[in-house]
Amino acid sequence: MWDALVAGAGPAGLVVSTLLARKGRKVLLLDPHGSGRHKVGESVPGAIVRLMRHLDLPPLHGVDSPHRDIGGIVTHWAGEIRGEDHLMKPEGGGWRLDRGAFERELAATAISCGVQRKEARVHRLVRCNGGWQVETDGGRELTTGFLVDATGRPAALARHLGARRVHGPPLVAVWGLGEKSDGKPTDRTYIESTPDGWWYGAYLPSGQPLAVFHTTPALASELRHQPALWRDRLFRTHPLASQFAADAFDTTVLSVHDARSGHLDVACGPGWIACGDSALSFDPLSSQGIFNALACADMAATAILAGGTGTALETYRNHLREIRTHYARRRERLYQSAAAHFGTSFWNGQLAYPALL
């Protein structure tokens, strides 16, 4: 019997597994996808260095580090261009992760702590004798004392147990990786608002340019199937477009993913807990997704190690509520400024939801 079964091997699942295994818990990590998929979401705030040190996770810095520090951020938001240099910030302005390397480092740490990892997903689960009987999609039967849902935005286990996903306003990211250029890529992040959405642009540590447009589902679908329109919109931005070669995205195959805010109405219960994006997911404008995944994993592990019942779970729920409230207020201020400037259906629609999700 496993002490804990963790479904999902993103940052949240890997870290909560590690923290539990370090305390002697027998942990099985189920990863339905294996590894090797490219994931968007590589920017993290400078505070992550302190958090990773607290969690005793591999550092981001070092001579051979595949990650790069972010030199600053340039925003063209609601008609105003601002530049921020991160050189003088005590914790720096953040890091641009090699996302694949980052998750491989977390996975190696988990395995070194004794976590067992299997490529499978939960197919069926039944509460039994204070624990769980679990069947995987391969037909394997397992028993565990505690379930951790780290399946990301789908929150597959929590929803199976009756939790409801509360969604923020619809927002879809249409993104593409471009070709490396001969010049030296910028170390800055570029964010730019437009009448019907907002752009994120940066260079990955590999030197590849990345551009992401966040907009309505309908427009996202149109742009995905007509890459020339996506490129045309990109190269009408300023100053973002000036950072990319004119042909950088000529052969790019576009992808889309759900980028809206969301949370579970119930994030934990007897014998189970959700963490990371499963419990609380952010609009990418916050650049807090990975940081939240690690912090949430820390809080979830603390609750489980404290017994995983009663007061421990209530404390966890209260922490999530505080984080959500703070995030929602900041997001609303930014979107209100863009709505006041553009007055378009996209921005007004983004505000047509409850302020606190």
Question: Which pLDDT belongs to residue 38?
Answer: 59
Question: Which pLDDT belongs to residue 183?
Answer: 80
Domain count, the chain: 2
Alpha carbons 101 and 82: distance in angstroms, whole number: 32
Question: Which pLDDT belongs to residue 86?
Answer: 60
Residues 254 and 266 in one domain: no
* 40 assigned to some structural domain: yes
* CATH number assigned to the domain comprising residue 234: 3.30.9.100
Residues 161 and 294 in one domain: yes
Residues 156 and 278 in one domain: yes
* 357 assigned to some structural domain: no
Residues 14 and 110 in one domain: yes
Question: Which pLDDT belongs to residue 85?
Answer: 75
Residues 232 and 279 in one domain: no
Question: Which pLDDT belongs to residue 15?
Answer: 98
Query: Which of 205, 228, 259 is where one domain is finished?
Result: 259
Question: Which pLDDT belongs to residue 27?
Answer: 98
Give the pLDDT confidence of 255-298 residue by residue, as tens digits.
999 999 999 999 999 999 999 999 999 999 988 899 999 999 99
Residues 134 and 242 in one domain: no
Residues 225 and 139 in one domain: no
* 338 assigned to some structural domain: no
* 347 assigned to some structural domain: no
Residues 163 and 15 in one domain: yes
Residues 47 and 106 in one domain: yes
* 209 assigned to some structural domain: yes
Alpha carbons 112 and 229: distance in angstroms, whole number: 47
Per-residue pLDDT tens listing for the chain (357 residues): 999 999 999 999 999 999 999 999 999 999 987 655 556 778 999 999 999 999 999 999 887 899 999 989 999 999 999 988 765 565 667 899 999 999 999 999 999 999 999 999 999 999 998 899 999 998 889 999 999 999 999 999 999 999 999 999 999 999 999 999 888 899 999 999 999 999 999 999 999 999 999 999 999 999 999 999 999 999 999 999 999 999 999 999 999 999 999 999 999 999 999 999 999 999 999 888 999 999 999 999 999 999 999 999 999 999 999 999 999 999 999 999 999 999 999 999 999 876 555
* 244 assigned to some structural domain: yes
Residues 253 and 220 in one domain: yes
Residues 24 and 79 in one domain: no
Query: Which of 231, 259, 287 is where one domain is finished?
Result: 259
Question: Which pLDDT belongs to residue 214?
Answer: 98
Give the pLDDT confidence of 316-346 residue by residue, as tens digits.
999 999 999 999 999 999 999 999 999 999 9
Residues 219 and 247 in one domain: yes
**Structural domain range at position 218:** 61-96+170-259
* 331 assigned to some structural domain: no
* CATH number assigned to the domain comprising residue 160: 3.50.50.60
Query: Which of 209, 234, 259 is where one domain is finished?
Result: 259
* 271 assigned to some structural domain: yes
